[in-house]
Structure 1
């Protein structure tokens, strides 16, 4: 029985209205955000997911990672909370963008899509995955039920936390990892313990597109036993026979389903081809993770009788507005921001960075996408090089971008990229006095990887340049006093 009912108030802010989805380990409610006056979706996870403190910490970490990404084809995560029930148990919940439409799974109950539409949807899903993979976020449960078809295109639901509400596979609990997903879309390598791999999302996308084109899964897999059986038998994927489907798209779809992750195309390549040559990603903002003050356990309270409902029924589109605003701010204030960034110790204080960054080169969005005086006056000439990173967070993000690009070109092995990305992300942890040592160690790791042939010389040089540029920016700020 659900612990939630209509008119319940969460965090003294979100008032539940009606349940719009129910699964084995989660339920989704339409709710009103009474602070920002907008409709939102509240996804409450089962209480057993909160019983284990380690699992609860993982849920928070996954939600925090997903909240850093805004993209037109991604459902935005707004907030995370934990509601305390009268019996003392906790219910973790996420507050997300409310998306109107129907899932691809619902659409497929009436049969496959025409191939141009199927490829267009797959291209939008691929664009969302490419943007997420660039910042180290892997979905891990791409399937038709997690793709929403809206008037403005497809949106991928539940980035970072989809697998928390899915069935566990037989190895769950043996490795300390969250090994969940959906059998028919489960990449073979995921049956072996190991870190999340972007190539696993590509496999799932290939299975999704295959089913969207043909109406059936590429392999006869419904249970975890079927997954093991298909792997043992090495069952081949039947060729795609869809009238009018371009041969290269059929080949790419089958390549996604290769048992060898290294032979699969990247999500960025799929987005470009399936999008008929359009860029893999529109301008995408990576939002900083802001330190949130500690608060007492959230209570569930009955909403007062005279709660004023929010009149808006159509979900807002914060991603588009925030991207346009971000372009104006970057264009008009980048020089000022670089001069006002705080001392190195601020990286350890928990304060947000002075400026947000985009995953593309720091060029403001085209004025063709917006109009009015702000966009007309704020567009400078496009810089040819990215500004030097002035905070450790910016340095880590720049490292991640270079590594992702190198991975897509096959210039670095996946383990080395993962190691360097992780070490870069750890630079702003611990005491400020230890940071110089960690920076030197990272520089040494890059040099060792280049010497061993595990990373291309051009990529190694770009990473070393980033470290040098960061060091010079710190010296410059110190001279300014």
Structure 2
């Protein structure tokens, strides 16, 4: 095992930690490493999760145990035991044991198959309820993201985990940095504004609130359905003077139902009060998930962007950046229109949808190569047919150029006339102008994603 000062200790299987025996190492975070353990005394083969501090005598563990002990909710793991593990060097590392949660991380769950808006709303409602239980006892999670939500494969249960960055009312501050611990992609606009406007001139750190957790919930929801982040400052704190008002609405990227799109927009509001409370968010999601309407049962897939006048401002920003209007006026209309036409068409061809962005390796605070993403088995993006005559398209007699062909490899694909197709849930004809009718149901053609670079800028 590693010596203190040279990284966190690594416990091999069979190691005794108090009355617990290590079975396997599960994963490592910034402050702790999680192991699957079983009770050795008295012997019990049931699995539990043991979290061991990466640093000796880390006071964060005492705070995390205190916070978890205050929360009583099925969507938050319950603490079973806590104590100290003595390293051979005599240094003490705090640990605690929680009930074992069976499930996969949220984004992995969303990538296993085409999920529907209704399924997403049910899962997000459970996370919001767990967040409500945290806020009721005066606690904050402060690191809401997909890696910290575990979902059962069938999507019936979601559990909020990893309260290592959490705090509660009256807790002793442990750091004096400008911003509290967390993941930068999920920072609220008000936290970023504080960082740039006040932190150079003030010794007082930013005080996170419930609205920060809710904004992070909105980022997580957006990332789940679209495969990308809403803000332009992904990978670090926002630049000075930059806000989050320029993100693309989720319904413009993917086939998400209006109720879910509206809730995400609410959570990503620049105004903290407009986000509501965790309880209000949970009630809104639960009500929307109960509503009738076939739109909520349509799989969330990438939309096929079409070049339109609405894309020209985006293209201008791509060509000229923030000073687009001034530069366009200076260069002259004909030249500008030519450049914008080219870029606008490229935007229409390459704007990433949910599946393409997931494949490109975007993740919570990191990036993976294309080969790594291929192994995850994520959903391929759908592309347009060669002709789009309008509503009620009939199933073609053969596959389109480039379409997945039989035998279909993915579980969610169905073979029709030699091609692979994705069933649009319970949606019935008329199917719309981007899907096809077959035996009383609606389908989208299944296409492989466009090749991405072998690495992605973090």
The two structures have a TM-score, normalised by structure 2, of 0.52
CA separation in 1, counterparts of 2:134 and 2:286?
17
1:257 Cα shift? 1.0
SS at match of 2:102: coil
CA separation in 1, counterparts of 2:239 and 2:265?
20
1:112 Cα shift? 6.6
The alignment status of 1:4 with 2:11, answered yes or no, reads yes
From the superposition, tell whether residues 20 and 217 of structure 1 become closer, same or farther in structure 2 (CA, over 3 Å): same
Higher relative contact order (CA 8 A, sep 6+): 1
Partner residue in 2 for 1:156: 160
Identify which of 208, 211, 227 aligns with 1:199: 211
CA separation in 2, counterparts of 1:278 and 1:134?
24
From the superposition, tell whether residues 28 and 210 of structure 1 become closer, same or farther in structure 2 (CA, over 3 Å): same
The alignment status of 1:238 with 2:244, answered yes or no, reads no
Partner residue in 2 for 1:184: 185
1:68 Cα shift? 2.2
From the superposition, tell whether residues 270 and 147 of structure 1 become closer, same or farther in structure 2 (CA, over 3 Å): same
Identify which of 145, 149, 153 aligns with 1:143: 145
CA separation in 1, counterparts of 2:89 and 2:119?
49
1:214 Cα shift? 1.3
- Unaligned regions of 5+ residues in structure 2, if any? 3-8, 168-173, 195-204, 291-458
Identify which of 74, 82, 97 aligns with 1:95: 97
Partner residue in 1 for 2:426: none
From the superposition, tell whether residues 278 and 111 of structure 1 become closer, same or farther in structure 2 (CA, over 3 Å): closer
Pairwise mapping of residues 63-462 of structure 1 onto structure 2 (< 5 A)? 63-109=65-111, 113-150=115-152, 152-158=156-162, 160-162=163-165, 173-175=175-177, 179-191=180-192, 192=194, 193-224=205-236, 227-229=237-239, 232-241=242-251, 245-276=256-287
CA separation in 1, counterparts of 2:81 and 2:115?
35
Q: Deviations over 1:213-248 (max 9, x none)?
A: 112111134322xx2227635552221216664434
SS at match of 1:229: coil
Cα pair 1:20 1:29 within 8 Å, conserved = yes
1:206 Cα shift? 0.6
Partner residue in 2 for 1:21: 27
1:73 Cα shift? 1.6
Q: Looking at CA atoms only, which structure, 1 or 2, has the larger radius of gyration?
A: 2
1:77 Cα shift? 2.4
State the superposition RMSD in angstroms.
Answer: 2.8
From the superposition, tell whether residues 8 and 234 of structure 1 become closer, same or farther in structure 2 (CA, over 3 Å): closer
More helix by share: 1
1:157 Cα shift? 0.8
1:3 Cα shift? 3.5
Q: Deviations over 1:160-209 (max 9, x none)?
A: 32469xxxxxxx9435x882111111223334433331111111111111
From the superposition, tell whether residues 135 and 112 of structure 1 become closer, same or farther in structure 2 (CA, over 3 Å): farther
- Unaligned regions of 5+ residues in structure 1, if any? 51-55, 165-171, 280-481
CA separation in 2, counterparts of 1:61 and 1:157?
15
1:113 Cα shift? 3.4
CA separation in 1, counterparts of 2:102 and 2:15?
22
